[in-house]
Amino acid sequence: SVLEGILLAQLQIALSL
């Protein structure tokens, strides 16, 4: 789902910090 995609993107951003 779209929300799932957003959540996954948030995780990737957090890991990139």
Q: What is the pLDDT of residues 1-17, one digit of tens each?
A: 999 999 999 999 999 98
**Residue 13, SS3 per DSSP:** helix
The radius of gyration computed from the CA coordinates of the chain, to the nearest angstrom, equals: 8
pLDDT, residue 12, reads: 98
pLDDT, residue 7, reads: 98
pLDDT, residue 5, reads: 98
CA distances from 15 to 1, 10 (A): 21, 9
Q: What are the structure tokens assigned to 16, written together? A: 């990139």
In which residue are the tokens 């959540």 written?
7
pLDDT, residue 2, reads: 97
